Amino acid sequence: MGNSYYFRKIHSLLGVIPVGFFLIEHLLTNYEATKGPEAFVDQINWLNGLPLVLLLEIVGIWLPLLYHAVYGLYVAYQARNNVSNYSYFRNQMFMLQRVTGVITFLFIAWHLFETRLQVALGNVAHENLGMTMHDIATNPVVFTLYVIGIVSATFHFCNGLWSFLVSWGITVGPRAQRYSSIIWMVLFVVMSVMFIMSLTAFTDTQFQVPVEASTGH
């Protein structure tokens, strides 16, 4: 029981820092696509120019993400959802947190395979990721699946922030928890809209060609 308590605390903490930071960074990076291919590539190049970027990715993103995902799946498997018997708001949110966690895990694995892994294997250059995203976004079926994955990921993060504040004793009263629900659900809507705007931006024909070709560089 003691180990389970600490494992859950670590799982909760990693869902906010650094996994949550990674999600926000990913949102801001992809949102640059709404400004055109050049802005998106500039942001990609800036990220890749950070010192020790591979070490930062492994220690600061992939390992925490792996722990959060694997332990989260274990928690989802162990969870007893009683929505049919107790259909109140928080119980429904509890169930959605588990469901979106599984969807998010599958979505991130798929997205990383199509993008980051292809770059690592040398099949796609960093500066051509916009073209890859264009191919993804212009496929109606894949676009729909991406929207489902995006909404699931943002909900899982924002609702997870509500749970984090409760489990860490920050929002302890009903009033604080009610206001916290409103704040994080507003953030969920804002982040989802920004992500979907970014995905839609990749459908622009400007992303069909490398930035060098489109700008004449």
User: Domains in the chain, start-ordered, CATH in brackets?
Assistant: 2-208 (1.20.1300.10)
Asked if residues 11 and 72 have their Cβ atoms less than 8 Å apart, the reply is yes
Backbone angles phi, psi at 17, to 5 degrees: -130, 120
pLDDT reported for residue 17:
85
Annotated binding site: 26, 68, 111, 156
Alpha carbon distance 165, 159 (integer Å)? 10
pTM for this entry: 0.88
Annotated binding site for heme: 26, 68, 111, 156
Asked if residues 34 and 197 have their Cβ atoms less than 8 Å apart, the reply is yes
Asked if residues 199 and 146 have their Cβ atoms less than 8 Å apart, the reply is yes
Model pLDDT for residues 157-170, shown as the tens digit of each residue: 999 999 999 989 99
pLDDT reported for residue 79:
64
Q: Average per-residue pLDDT in the chain?
A: 88
